[in-house]
Amino acid sequence: MSESIGGDAPTAAADPGGDGFDEAFALADPIGGWLTRDQARALWDAAADLPPGAHVVEIGSHQGRSTVVLARALARSGGRLTAVDAFVDGPRYGGTATRDVLAAHLEQAGVTAVVDVVAARSQDVRSRWSEPIDLLWVDGKHDYWTCSDDLRWSEHLPPHGRCLVHDAFSSIGVTTSLLVHVLPSRRLRLTGRVGSLALLEVASPSGADRRRLVAQLPWWLRNVGLKVLLRLRLGAVARRLGHVGPFDPY
Ligand SMILES: C[S@@+](CC[C@H](N)C(=O)[O-])C[C@H]1O[C@@H](n2cnc3c(N)ncnc32)[C@H](O)[C@@H]1O
């Protein structure tokens, strides 16, 4: 099991005069999870860019680290967030008790009214979903099949709509899914990444976009190798390869 990187005391203060991100991240950072500050910033920017009343779908909320960031951004423009999580049992995700923890974190962040928590498997919710959405955040189950299904939520995005995918270049299942479904796609292109968070856009990809995706593969292999080393308690070797800290590369 990889450890979450949040859960300590808040590290960022309110930002009078700022755009609200620092304040949102100060609320999110104590919440356990795997989202880095830069990745939270990418989520914030994508949500803050949306028109008033926008509807965002999050797949995989856990205790609310990313949920709080998205919801705080959406609250500024009357948007709403559908947060889908199966609240999977086990030590990693904590099962149904995590739903109560999430609810408490949303309350603390003042965003309960912005977020509709749907406690179900993303595949089951998607199969009956018909509404347009404005932004998609994929951070649910990381196996190939689930991630491939989760990418299909992007069919509800408008042209130039954005889809952000966590662990896109640090997980075998997620990366394989991107290689199978995004690399040959005529509708989704990779515009960049923040750590292992992929930034996708609904647009016809150019050759350069496809090469950009392939160019991430050496970095992905390195990350998978680092995760193996960390599982084998070979952190010293990982450090020699340039990995900083005890956590998985995100
Ligand atoms: C990596 S965590 C999400 C982390 C969260 N985005 C954050 O920033 O802290 C993955 C979540 O996906 C949920 N999950 C696993 N399988 C799922 C599925 N089939 N559908 C929806 N959620 C699922 C787990 O319960 C877990 O809470």
pLDDT tens digits, residue range 212-243? 999 999 999 988 888 887 888 878 877 888 88
Q: What number is the average pLDDT over the span 45-57?
A: 98
Range of the domain at 63: 21-224
Query: Which distant-in-sequence residues (6+ apart) come within 8 Å of 170 by Cβ?
Result: 196, 220, 223, 224, 227, 248, 249, 250
Q: What is the pLDDT of residues 114-167, one digit of tens each?
A: 999 999 999 999 999 999 999 999 999 999 999 999 999 999 999 999 999 999
Domain membership of residue 10 (yes or no) is no
CB 43 within 8 A of CB 70: yes
Ligand 1 atom 22 nearest Cα: 85
Number of domains in the chain: 1
Q: Which long-range contacts link 18-25 to residues 24+ away (Cβ below 8 Å)?
A: 19/48, 20/44, 20/48, 20/72, 20/73, 20/76, 21/48, 21/69, 21/73, 23/72, 24/68, 24/69, 24/72, 24/73, 24/109, 25/69
Domain membership of residue 243 (yes or no) is no
Domain membership of residue 9 (yes or no) is no
CB 102 within 8 A of CB 62: yes
Ligand 1 centroid to residue 21 C-alpha, Å: 23
- Site to substitute for ligand 1 among 4, 38, 81, 93, most atoms within 8 A of C-beta: 93
Domain membership of residue 11 (yes or no) is no
C-alpha 97/C-alpha 89 separation (Å) is: 9
Give the number of other Cβ atoms within 10 Å of residue 130's Cβ: 5
Give me the percent of the chain exceeding a pLDDT of 70. Answer: 93
Domain membership of residue 15 (yes or no) is no
pTM of the model: 0.92
Residue 3 banded pLDDT, cuts 50, 70, 90: low
Q: What is the pLDDT of residue 8?
A: 44
Which CATH number is 63's domain given?
Answer: 3.40.50.150
Ligand 1 atom 15 nearest Cα: 141
CA angle 139, 144, 147 (to 5 degrees): 30
Domain membership of residue 246 (yes or no) is no
Mean residue pLDDT of the chain comes to 92
Domain membership of residue 242 (yes or no) is no
- Site to substitute for ligand 1 among 4, 31, 61, most atoms within 8 A of C-beta: 61
Q: Which residue type sits at 131?
A: E
